[in-house]
Amino acid sequence: MQRGYFKTAWSDVTQSPHWVTRILLLALLSFIPVFGWIVIAGYLWGWARDMAWGVHAPLPERIFENADGTLYSRGFFAAVIAVVCAVVMSVLQSAGGLISSGSFAGSAFVWGDVHSIYQTVAPLGLVSGLLSLFSFAVLCAVSFIVTLFKWVGTMRMSIYGRLSAGFQVSRIWAMMRHDFKGILRILGMWLIVSFVVGIAIALAISVVIFAGILCVSFFANMGASANDASFLLIVAAAMILILLAAFLGVLACALAIRAVGHWTCQFDVANWRGQDDPMPFELKGAQTKG
């Protein structure tokens, strides 16, 4: 069982020839609604699928390479799985909000009269706060689980080339349970990288704003229009920051998806049969028990 999935994924990305250019091209594609993200998903999950099969290869040279004819279908199916998971999370968040917001009102109604309500405001406020905190913790845990299901489901879809393989909850759960610590570490590293990316972008915004103020002052002293200079600097800075954010976001996605490919490699994909059949590790477990 391999360890350091995310670290290995980092090596795979950064040791690929011209990886900065390829990630930058993917970042530019991300500005194209729907189609751009379908291509990005098809490209990255195809690379992860190859790793799941045990094929160690750098980032594909051609982003639109569609030799097996599944680039666009794979990207579209990945988008469908992501949308379904997002809808599930939205429903759960709405339900959690209703539960936490309704806890105090429901309790107050039970007590009935104003005097009883007054006497129970403090404890009910505490209970409501605790329920809200508990609800938030549960929603965070559920969001993590949904994210893991989305990753593993998309990986299975990429391997079988069928959308239905991405929604086999029992098969997905069996894989997660077999190495839950491994897939959870990938999620943890992805969250850390995403946090660092957010901090980096925030610092970049601060630096650009400070530099913009200095430049505007300089242009004003040189006799140029401060308004014109400010407008040009704001536009230039916004374009650079947006592109930087897209680049770092796509890089984080590439690392997480490749890491999931490494994680899946342990399941002996070459010996998988139908999408409904037991996987090799399940067959070995059944033989051991027998």
Q: How confident is the model at residue 190, as a pLDDT?
A: 93
Q: Average pLDDT for residues 153-179, to the nearest whole number?
A: 95
Q: Would you say residue 281 has pLDDT above 70?
A: yes
Q: How confident is the model at residue 240, as a pLDDT?
A: 84
User: What are the CA-CA distances from residue 89 to residues 37, 94, 114, 150, 267 (Å)?
Assistant: 20, 8, 38, 11, 28
Contact (Cβ atoms closer than 8 angstroms) between residue 100 and residue 132: yes
Separation between Cα atoms, residue 27 and residue 249, nearest integer Å: 8
Q: Would you say residue 15 has pLDDT above 70?
A: yes
Separation between Cα atoms, residue 113 and residue 109, nearest integer Å: 8
Q: Characterize 186-202 residue by residue with b for buried, 16 or more Cβ atoms within 10 angstroms of its Cβ, and e for exposed.
A: bbebbeebeeebeeebe
Nearest to 171 by CA among 273, 27, 64, 249: 273
Q: Which of 27-31, 50-54, 242-246, 259-263 has the lowest mean pLDDT?
A: 242-246
For 221, the token pair is 């002293």
Q: Average pLDDT for residues 42-51, to the nearest whole number?
A: 96
Q: How confident is the model at residue 100, as a pLDDT?
A: 54
Task: Compute φ and ψ for 58, nearest 5 degrees.
Answer: -70, 175
* 103 confidence band (pLDDT: 50, 70, 90): very low
pLDDT digits (tens, 9 = 90+) for 50-88: 999 999 999 999 999 888 899 999 999 999 999 999 999
